[in-house]
Structure 1
Amino acid sequence: MERTHVETRQWRTTISAAQDGDRQALDELVAGWLPLVYNIVGRALNGHADVDDVVQETMLRAVDNLGTLRDPDSFRSWLVAIAMRQIRDRARRRTPEPLASDAGDRAADFAELTVLRLQLEGQRREVAEAVRWLDDEDRQLLSLWWLEVAGELTRRELAAAVGISRQHAAVRVQRMKARLEVARGIVRALEGACPELDAVTARWDGRPGSVWRKRLARHIRGCAYCAGAEESVVPAERLLVGIALVPVPAGFTLSLALGGKTSAAAASVGWSAKVLGALTKPAVAVTAGATIAAGGAYVVTHPSDDPPPRAVIAPTASSSPSRTLSATPTRPPSPSPSPSPSPSPSPSPSKTATDLYGTVVDAVDRAPAADARPGTLPHRPESGITSTGGPKAVMQHRGESVTLTGQGYVLVRWQISPKSRPGSLVMPTWTGLKGKLFHVASGGGRRMDDPLQGSPDGYATGMGGPTIGYAVLPGGTQQMWQNEYFYLDGSVILTQNERGCDYGLTVFPSNWDAVNADVLTGPAQGAIRYGLIRDNGKDTAPVPQYATRSTPTDPATVEQRSRV
């Protein structure tokens, strides 16, 4: 599932209201961010019995210190840093425990919860179970990197939470990933039928640990049978983009202050004496009695136009549509053999046949053959486009936007950089549309999933490759080409929503002649393929995905089925 945070005007309003003592705003703040904190702590501690206390202590400290937060936009990184400090403090305070006792605490560890609650199978299950074999420090880092790959955190936030530079974080992540791959190999080997492995593990008590990790890894390196199981291994980052946050467990009740609860009632849900003591000190003026019941009812789903803070939260029984991310970003199958985009169902029933405007491409279209010349590009009226970004607007970071106004053509050029940071790709959005907007053509000589000849792994840029990692599109997202062309008659805001996989956009006002010349540039001129015409010259021509006439507080929450 695509995961998003709401870090915009709505967030700032909610945080400011909570700082001023608004109990409802505080409830929304805690409810929205509790699943993220629970996943970080749960995975870092692998489901240890202390998880509940650390989660609760983190949220209490956040509420208690909310008034010291000067910049609401930094709330997420601030909260994650608090969680990591609590995890490290817990490690320093902890006294050595007998192995048997620790094993009892982990009877239902976080790896098991991840597999069961998210119904993971195959190599996704393998990654979750491999976490058991990591040392504490690696698990703490993985709890953040997992969320970075899934689009929940940025690399800057990961580095800040760990307290190191981004460059050092990159080195640490690479080392942790290498150890995670070793752990995945152990999980595969233990599930296999190696005739020599039984002898190696004859004295093993079944509990993962560093000593046995080294012994089993040494066996795998020297065993042709076990090492052969690695031939079709999918990189971990490609698997993790499709894994949602683990829902907060049933029965987990977070109370910010005692209010109507008695100490005995609070203690019945597993509160420590330290937490009970903290609860008697209201952090915000009117927090007494504020209670967030999180028992299994929260799951991260796809964003809507009006989400609650941080992420869309819906009951588990909801039948909300799921745009599950594909684990294989190479040319997904098309529902139609036609090179033309597959239109979505007709717009809202409130529209009549006389005012029908646009269709939405919500299925991946098949790339035409390299020598398939495009159709004719209709020539629409053009008086020119003005851009707040000037003749060449470069947008490299989340939240950057450009407002386009006028009548004419616009080029959006893609540059995807999975080598910098692979993972799920959060698409740019068109918001505040006034007038009409059409997706008229695709060009640049290639689609972004076309391999480039001459690069080490066949992918110099674009969707990535086995040696640099992959960019993964949300399910159903139309594959973009290097150059995407749009026609605007009115005004619209284009916003870069980078999170997860690294990408940049360059926006140029263009014209019909330039669009036509680009799509007609084919393999004979050094391109991989000719371009593709999408415009039918009518008001029923495709409109861009992720487009809306509304102006949501967070453009990243625009639904894929555009609202125009």
Structure 2
Amino acid sequence: MRTYADAGAEAGRHWRATITAAQAGDRQALDELVAGWLPLVYNIVGRALNGHADVDDVVQETMLRAVGNLGSLRDPDSFRSWLVAIAMRQIRDRARRRTATRLDESTAPEGAADFAELTVLRLQLEGQRREVAEAVRWLDDEDRQLLSLWWLEVAGELTRRELAAAVGISRQHAAVRVQRVKERLEVSRGIVRALDGACPDLREVTARFSGRPDSVWRKRLARHIRGCGYCGDTRENVVPAERLLVGIALVPVPVGFTLSLGLGGKSAVAAAGSASVGWSAKVLGALTKPAVAMTAGATLAAGGVYVAVQTPDDPPPRTAAVPTAASTTAEPPRPPAPAASPSASPSPSPSPSATKKKAVYGSVVDAVDTAPDPDTPPGALPHRPESGITSTGGAHAVMNHRGDAVTLSGQGYVLVRWQISPQYRAGSLVPPAWTGLEGRLFHVASGGGRRMDDPTSATDTTATGMGSAATGYAVLPAGTQQMWQNEYFYVDGSVTLTVNERGADYGVSVFPSTWDAVEKDILTGPPAGAGRYGLVRDTGGDDTPVPQYVTRDTPADPATVPQASRVPA
């Protein structure tokens, strides 16, 4: 007999196969992917914005980003949480853009559909379920954003882990936030009940009420209800919201809702609910190539480790890159391939001071390396002690905005995964800063199959993984260490990583990792179709490079940390 669990497992296998096929350039799979997940995005955005006219734009931007960055998704099982995180970022970005010219968000403007009303009508909600839907109008923007996810969690469309990842907080913190929203939702439910009632005193209180929910009237009405025997008298049992929402369906995407996914000035329209999605030639041109040809780049250093070593009395190095002997292999490495980007510079010969003086921890600053031959595997990765890493962001901290931060403590490896999107906002990059360091921090390896200045495709050497003429460019400051899609660090103590996003749009995900995971990543090279092998930077000693932008201080603005910062032992 086929069970619910069997059906769920079968659906999971289907979507994994669909996502993998779409990443490989299958048009039909991509059509199915967009049509299948559009309702989830529409419900999240619609409820978070309560049907504001910007819903269409935010949904479109979310799906456009998801399609454009699909090749960067390494694990198909994480697609849903990845897509939801993109949607939440677009919602927050929209809120920031509107801060300067704040409009009345408490009700939908003319021409927009109130999402609470859509929920009631399209799902035919009655009684207390209708009451919950209408109560959402009384919540503040931030509460509505979280409620848009919690509603879907209770309805069985999201997990708590996915909710926490989308908001960028730990599951414990998510539990606290959700509980607060539930309490405010219950207050709002009381307001809806009271306004539907016949309390004579409430009529006087609401004589000047325009009918548009806002925070001032919410507080005023809640105060009345608390002191009113009529409005506060619940003659029927009030069912908790989570019990009312269990198994509730997604609000159908409105008939006539269109999704335009366009690049380079060309667009294509997907009718809501349609199994077939049209695509512009620009989109198809990118998606008919394997996903590895579409993701941001990574590159390898011919089995060598590039560091610059100096004692505390020496001035900080700028761009010198010295190959050390710690990771040489028995087979002589091939000469590095020409750099794929003008920003990559050849490595000079080691200076006498660098080879004669003993390395002191904190005197080592990472430096620029050249793009190596992709077929050369890396040297051995030293195995440092691992007692475990704790992160204030949990197992997967997603940081998308300037000022977002995560503190890492313990002894072990950490993965920082990059996602740079210059096509959405081009400009220069200010990399994240490591601040408040206690103990030691090393930059031990780079992986992910691609370096950020690799060509977007094997045949197009003019377009780089960080951008192109069609999408815009992201530019690193002169002398900055070239970044890979996956950057690995070793923490022995505690340190805080803070996003300094300015100029180009970027985000980073931070995962506590293991030596085994690092080694597996850097050894996954061209034979497996990942693009390039990874790069080992760890020498096993104190001459392993420390990251750029690192300090033991905690500056008010982490973006002011010097690029070639020196870290006293």
TM-score normalised by the chain length of structure 2: 0.45
> Relative contact order, CA 8 A, sep 6+: which one is greater?
1
TM-score normalised by the chain length of structure 1: 0.46
